[in-house]
Amino acid sequence: MRRFDELFTEADAAFNGKYKNELGKLTGLSKDEIDAVTPGVEDLRVYSILIKVVEKASMENISMTQLAVDIKELGGIAVKIARKIPEFRFFLK
C-alpha cells in the first residue's frame, strides 16, 4: 500500500478541496450522460482529463474564473460536459 500513499493523499486533497461538491457531481456522471454530449471515445478521454483539471483546481484552491479558463482550453467537449454540473454553468457560458 505504501506505493499508493501519494495517490491517496492527492485524492483526499482533491475530494476535500475547494471544488469537492463539483468534483463529486462530475465523477458521478454516467456514461450515458457523457455520451449525450458527444458519443464516442473522444468524450471519455476529455472527461478523464476534465476530472484531473478539476481535481488539480480543488487541491490548489484555484479560482472559479481560472478553472473556467482551464476548462475552456480543453475545448468544446469539456465545456459541454462541465456544463452538466450546475455550479459550472454560470462560468462556462
Instruction: Give DSSP secondary structure letters for 17-51.
Output: STTHHHHHHHHT--HHHHHHHS-SHHHHHHHHHHH
Q: What is the pTM of this model?
A: 0.80
Which residues touch 8 (CB under 8 Å, ≥6 apart)?
Answer: none
The pLDDT of residue 39: 73
How do residues 67-80 score in pLDDT, each as one tens digit?
999 999 999 999 99
Return the SS3 of 72.
helix
- Structural domain span for residue 45: 2-89
Calpha distance 54→88 (Å, rounded): 11
Q: What is the mean pLDDT of the chain?
A: 86
pLDDT at 25 over 80: yes
- State how many domains the chain has: 1
Report residue 4's pLDDT band, with 50, 70 and 90 as the boundaries.
low
How do residues 40-68 score in pLDDT, each as one tens digit?
777 888 999 999 999 889 888 899 999 99
